[in-house]
Amino acid sequence: MTAEVGILNANGLVLAADSALTMGNSEQMKIFNSGNKIFSLGPSHSIGIMMFGNVQFMGIPWEIIVTGFHQKIGARPLDSVWDYCTEFFNYLENVDEIYSSIFTEVLIIGYAENVSNILENTTYVPSPGAFTLADYQKAVEEKIPALLKESEKMKSITKKAPIKVFSDRYGEKLDEVFKELFDTVFLGLNLYDKFKPDLYKIVRNYVYSDSYYPDTYSGLVIAGFGYTELFPSIYQYDIAGVVDKVIKKRLTVRQIVMNDFAEDRCSSAIVPFAQQDMVHTVINGIAPDLEADLGELLRATLEKLISELTEKKLLKESDAPEINKLKATLVESGLNAFENMKQERHLTPVLMTIDSMPKEELALIAETLVNITSFKGKISFSMETVGGPIDVLLITKSDGPVWVKRKNYFNPDINRLR
């Protein structure tokens, strides 16, 4: 995990990121505090590229890909940030090394492991009395056709490979993932062959889906100014690999500073990436998980009130349908009122301040938000996956990309030519 933020207004844009790189999984984890996550395309281009999540794409480090893109476009600036996004993916599609059969297999196995985790964590209703393994086994069996039905409805990024072709290519590796699960859940009852065809189809459908992304995807941010643009913009993509020579990607953030309020446009914005909870807490005045609990607390409180009034004969049981409708209305009304209060007291004042903030202050705010996320990790029992030096890249129309803070892996005193 990592913490990154982009802040933009009419004066410029700033990108800030920590340096923590997490390797491994929850059982075996190693954290390095020396990762580079922000890259400049040099003085000829007012563009910064930032990455989070998986530091590689089909086995190639993103830093190498960005360097190759920089060399490809040369010193000629492009007209818009959108043009940079388009050219970046055009370049990526022509990097032969991304079409690796080995890393395609790794990608498929990752999807299978995701499906396996979903099945392993299946929720169920235990029989009256005590837990029985049969309840859990039944729930897992019922989950498989449900997942298949759901996956069949997903839109595909390209024409799916026939299931026989997919099975012949990857069946052996998929078996290694799913047999371990079935031996654990079903204790050697040899049920795997029964469900194997459905499991193959689920994985195939997820791989080709335009909406299902594995936990190992990369986040890529492209931000700054095009040559003809007066104001900055920021685009963020989720990228999950290559499927049949098609890059699986989706645009998830699009913020454009303009002097109007059209859809997808703004006069200023704070955009967090990766680990976002503390940034949202600062700008919204409440932690996201606490806000989510608020609705449940409101529903539970009304349920308790209705129950006690019914018990004391102050409400008739025959009125239950009307009372439930009223409860739903009250919950919705209360949450809407809270949302309006949050906007009025916290988010709007913050963005109004950001609107006219000088570029130097933007850099300080971005660095501080990343620092706060790191600090939160130090005073909680969770793993400190945010840390190390914070890199800050400021981009303005007049000065282009300027490093406000940047760590070096070399000693500048003995590398004067750099």
pLDDT (0 to 100) of residue 311: 77
SS3 242: strand
Return the residue matching tokens 């590398």.
415
**How crowded is the C-beta side of 107, counted as CA atoms within 13 Å?**
27
What's the pLDDT band for 260 if we cut at 50, 70, 90?
low
pLDDT tens for residues 90-100? 999 999 999 99
Q: In the chain, pLDDT over 90 holds for what percent of residues? A: 52
Which residues have C-beta within 8 Å of that of residue 202, sequence separation ≥ 6?
115, 144, 147, 148, 151
Q: What was the pLDDT predicted at 88?
A: 97
User: Residue 180: what pLDDT?
Assistant: 85
The residue among 160 and 411 whose pLDDT is bigger is 160
CA nearest neighbour of 400 among 33, 88, 41: 41
Residue 249 has pLDDT above 70, yes or no: yes
pLDDT in tens, 281-302: 888 888 888 888 888 888 888 8
Distances (CA, A) of 148 to 170, 201, 276: 18, 7, 32
Q: Worst-scoring range by mean pLDDT, 51-55, 167-171, 191-195, 412-416?
A: 412-416
Distance CA 358, CA 10 (A): 10
- The more confidently predicted of residues 418 and 236 is 236
User: What is the reported pLDDT for 28?
Assistant: 56
Residue 186: burial class (beta carbons within 10 Å; 0-12, 13-18, 19+): middle
Looking at 207-216, 217-226, 268-277, 296-305, which range is the least confident one? 296-305
- Most confident range, picked from 188-192, 212-216, 236-240, 289-293: 236-240
Alpha helices in 261-405 (DSSP H): 277-284, 288-311, 320-342, 348-355, 359-378
Binning pLDDT at 50, 70 and 90, where does residue 188 land? Answer: low
218-224/21-24 β-pairing: unpaired
What's the rounded Cα separation, in Å, for the pair 162 and 144? 20
In sequence order, the 6+-apart residues with CB closer than 8 A to the CB of 270 are: 5, 6, 7, 279, 283, 350, 351, 354, 365, 369
Q: Are 114 and 203 in contact (CB under 8 A)?
A: no
Give the model confidence (pLDDT) of 63-110 as tens digits. 999 999 999 999 999 999 999 999 999 999 999 999 998 999 999 999
Tens-digit pLDDT profile for residues 236-246: 999 999 999 99
Instruction: State the CB neighbour count (10 A cutoff) for residue 1.
Output: 17
Provide the whole-model pTM: 0.87
1/57: higher pLDDT? 57
